[in-house]
A and B are shown apart, each in its own frame.
Chain A
C-alpha cells in the first residue's frame, strides 16, 4: 500500500517536473531567439569586418555598396535614420505627451474608453500602408506648398511620427496615472489650477516614465522600415547640417531602407556587399537594443518610486 502510494507520488512529482521543464523550454525560446539573432548577425558581420575595417565602416561618409567605386561608410545611413527619427520625434513627443496629460488628467472615463483604442489604431496600421499613404497623399500635399522630391524625409517623418504617438502616450499615461493622488490634492489645496498641477506636479513626478516612453518611441522610429523605404526613398546621403530645411525636402536612405534594398538587390550571396547587410543589421540591432534597455532601466525607476 505504502509502496503504491510512493509510486503514485513520485509519478506525480515526476509529471510535475516534466511539465515545468516543458514550460521552461517555451520561455527559453526567447533566449534562443536573442542568441540566434546575435549569431546570425555576427557570423556574417565578422566576415564583413575582416574585409572592411570597422573604422572605414563607422566613419566612412559614402555608402555605395553596389556601385563602383565601392564604399561602405555607414554614416549616410545613420544620419538618414537620424533625420527621420528627429522629424518624427518633433511630431510624436509633444503630441504624445500632451495626449497623455489629457488622458490622465482631463478625460472622463468614457472619453478615455473611446480615445485609447482609437490611439492604438495609429500603431496598429501596417507600416507598408503608412508608407503608401505618405507617398501617394502626403507628399503631393506637401509639394503643393513647398516643392519636394517624390521621395522625401518630411512625409516619411510625418507618418512615422503619427505611428509612434501611441507609444509615447500610453506609457506616459501609465506613468502619470501612477502618480499618487495625494500629490495632486496637495497642490489643489494650495490653490493651484489643473494646468499647474499637470505641468508642475504630475509631469515632473512621472518624468522617468515619460523619458522611458520617449526612448522607446525613438527606438521604434529608428527601426521603422517599410514606411521609410517607400516614402523616403533610397538615396544614401550624408546630411548637410548647414541646410536643415533642405534635408527634409530631399530623399534620404535609412539603415532599414538600405537593408531592404540590399536584401532584394543585385548582390551575390557571398559578396562583401551582401555581408554588409548584416553589418548594418548588427548596428541597428545594437542601437535599438541599447535604447530598449535604457528605456527599461529608466522605467523601472519610476516603478520603484511609487510602489
Chain B
C-alpha cells in the first residue's frame, strides 16, 4: 500500500479518492463495533419489554419465568458496591498519594508501578482463585458472603482505582504545592488541604468508573462460591449474597426459552441501566468540578 504512494504518479486524483476512501474506511471501522453493540442492545431491550416490570424488580427468583424476580440480586449488587467503595477508595487513594507524592523513582517504586499496571491486566477468574484461596480457605471467613465477595472484587478493581487516582493527583499543578509549602505547610498538610481537594473530582470519577467495572464481574463470584440463587437480601456482612451478573449467568443456562429471551433480557437491561447510572454519575462529577 505504502509503496505506490512513494512514486510521483500518486499525487493526483487517484490518490485523493483513495484518501477519501481511506477516511471512510477508518470511520466505518470506528463505528462498526458501536453499531453492532447498539443493534444487540435494541434486540435485548425489545425482548425485555413485558418482562421488566415492578414485579420483576421486587420479587425473589422463581423457577416459573413469569414469577421470577431480580430483587435479591439487585440489592446484593448494591451492597457489594458499597463494600467495594469503602475498601478501594481509601486504599486506592493512599497508594496513589504514596506513589505520586512520596515515592521517588528508585527500583522499588518502579517495581510497584509496573506491578500495579500488571495487576490491572490479571484475568478476573484468577482473582476469583485468590479470593477462594485467601479468604475462603485460608482465613476461613465463609464462602459466598458479602464480605468475601466485597474483598475479592475490591482487590480486582484496586489497580484501576490507583491508576486513575494517580492521574488525578498528577494533574494538580505543582505551583499549588509550592505555594502551600511556601506558607509553611508540612507535606501532609499540603496533601490534605491542597492536593486531595484539588484531585478529588478526578479520583471520584475514576473510583465510580471502577465500581462500574466491579458491578459486572461474575467469574470471581463463581470461584468464591457465591450462591446461584438467593431468596432475600443480605442483613450482615456475613450474609450469602447474590449479584446481578451472577443471577444472569444462572438464568442464561435455564433451558426454558422464556428465561432465555425474557427474564435474562430483563435482567440484562436492568444491569445495563444501573451501569449507565453509575457512569452518568461519574460524568456528572467530572463536569461539575471541571
Chain A–chain B contact at Cβ < 8 A: yes
Chain A residues proximal to chain B, CB less than 8 Å: 12, 15-16, 19-20, 22-31, 33-34, 36-37, 39-41, 43-44, 94-95, 98-99, 101-103, 105-107, 115, 118-119, 121-122, 124-129, 131-133, 135-138, 162, 165, 169, 191-196, 198-200, 216, 219-220, 222-226, 229-230, 256, 259-260, 263-264, 277-278, 281, 284-285, 288-289, 291-293, 295-296
For B125, what are the chain A residues with a Cβ–Cβ distance below 8 Å?
Answer: 223, 225, 256, 259-260, 281, 284
- Partner-contacting stretch, out of B54-62, B63-71, B89-97, B197-205: B89-97
Cβ proximity bits B6-42 to A, threshold 8 Å, 1 near / 0 not: 1000110001101100110111011011101100100
Cβ-closest chain B residue relative to A204: B2
The residues of A that contact B223 with a CB separation of less than 8 Å are 259-260, 263
B94 touches A162 (CB 8 A): no
* Closest Cβ neighbor of A105 among chain B residues: B26
| Given A29-B95, A133-B268, 11 additional A-B pairs, CB 8 A | A23-B101, A30-B116, A31-B115, A43-B133, A98-B30, A99-B30, A121-B34, A138-B40, A226-B249, A263-B222, A281-B129
Count of CB-CB pairs between chains A and B under 8 Å: 266
Confirm or deny: B142 has a beta carbon within 8 angstroms of a beta carbon on chain A. no
Please report whether the interface of chain B is mostly helix, strand, loop or mixed according to DSSP: helix
B90-A285 in contact (CB<8A): no
Question: A136-B264, A230-B252, A259-B129 given as contacts; is B123 within 8 A of A119 (CB)?
Answer: no
Task: Give Cα A279 to B159, complex, Å.
Answer: 24
Q: Which stretch from B78-86, B170-178, B211-219, B231-239 is at the chain A interface?
A: B211-219
List residues of chain A with CB within 8 A of the CB of B44.
132-133, 137
Our pick among A131, A132, A293 for the contact of B114 (Cβ within 8 Å) is A293
Check B94 against A23 for contact (C-beta < 8 Å): yes
Q: How far is B268's CA from A52's CA once the two chains are assembled, in angstroms?
A: 41
| Residues of B contacting A19 in the complex (Cβ-Cβ under 8 angstroms) | 187-188, 191
A129 CB contact (under 8 Å) in B23, B124, B129, B248: B248
Could you tell me if A33 and B130 are in contact, using CB atoms closer than 8 angstroms?
yes
Q: B117 on the interface (CB 8 Å rule)?
A: yes
Known: A27-B94, A222-B123. A98 touches B248 (CB 8 A): no
> Cα distance A165–B29 when bound, in Å?
10
Q: Report yes or no: A40 in contact with B133, Cβ–Cβ below 8 A.
A: yes
Given A99-B26, A106-B26, check contact A27 B134 (CB 8 Å). no
Which B residues fall within an 8 A CB radius of A?
1-2, 5-6, 10-11, 15-16, 18-19, 22-23, 25-27, 29-30, 32-34, 36-37, 40, 43-44, 90-95, 97-99, 101-103, 111-112, 114-119, 121-130, 132-134, 155, 158-159, 162, 186-188, 191, 212-213, 215-219, 222-223, 245, 248-249, 252, 260-261, 264, 268, 271-272, 275, 279
Q: Which residues of A contact B249 (CB under 8 A)?
A: 128, 131, 226, 230
Chain A residue contacts of B22, Cβ below 8 A: 194-195, 198-199
Contact, CB under 8 Å: B126 / A37: yes
Q: Given the complex, which residues of B lie within 8 Å of A281, measured CB to CB?
A: 125-126, 129
11 example contacts (A-B, Cβ-Cβ < 8 A) are as follows A26-B91, A44-B133, A98-B26, A119-B30, A119-B33, A124-B279, A128-B218, A129-B216, A193-B5, A225-B125, A288-B122
Residues of B within 8 A of A222 (CB): 123
Residue of A127, A162, A291 near B37 (CB, 8 A) is A162
Interface pair B112/A31, CB less than 8 Å apart: yes
Given A29-B91, A95-B33, A115-B30, the answer on whether A289 and B19 have CB atoms closer than 8 Å is no
Interface of A, secondary structure class, is helix
Separation of A10 and B124 alpha carbons in the complex (Å): 46
Pair A193/B118 contact, Cβ less than 8 Å: no
Asked whether, in the complex, the Cβ of B29 is within 8 Å of the Cβ of A94, the reply is yes
Nearest 5 pairs between A and B by C-beta? A126-B216, A223-B123, A26-B94, A40-B133, A98-B29
Selected from B121, B219, B272, the residue in CB contact (under 8 A) with A216 is B121
- Specify the chain B residue showing the minimal Cβ separation from A226: B218
Q: Contacts A26-B94, A30-B115, A33-B119 given: A122-B33 contact, CB under 8 Å? A: yes
CB-CB under 8 A from B217, the residues of chain A are: 126
Give the Cβ gap from B169 to chain A, nearest Cβ, in Å: 11
Inter-chain CA distance A162–B133, complex, in Å, is: 32
Complex CA distance for A26 and B166, rounded to whole angstroms: 13
B contact residues around A15 at 8 Å (CB): 186, 188
Alpha-carbon distance A22/B2, docked complex (angstroms): 55
Please indicate the chain B residues that have their CB under 8 angstroms from the CB of A220 in the complex.
Answer: 121
| Bound: A220/B124 CA distance, A | 10
User: Which residues from chain B contact A264 at a C-beta distance below 8 Å?
Assistant: 222
A126 touches B121 (CB 8 A): no
- Assess the B219–A194 pair: CB atoms within 8 A: no
- CB-contact partner of A27 in B33, B99, B261, B268, under 8 A: B99
Instruction: Give the residues in chain A near B121, CB-CB below 8 Å.
Output: 216, 219-220, 223, 288-289, 291-292, 295
Q: Say yes or no: B245 contacts A124, CB within 8 Å.
A: no
Q: Say yes or no: B16 contacts A193, CB within 8 Å.
A: yes
- Which one of A22, A36, A193 has the highest number of Cβ atoms from chain B below 10 Å of its Cβ? A193
Contact present for A95 and B222 (CB under 8 Å)? no
**Closest beta carbon of chain B to A62's beta carbon, Å:** 22
Contact A103 B212 (CB under 8 A): no
**Is B95 in contact with A136, judged by CB distance below 8 angstroms?**
no
Closest to B40 in A: A133
Inter-chain CA distance A242–B149, complex, in Å, is 44
CA A266 – CA B186 in complex, angstroms?
A: 59
Partner of A191 from the list B11, B102, B114, B191 (CB cut-off 8 Å) is B11
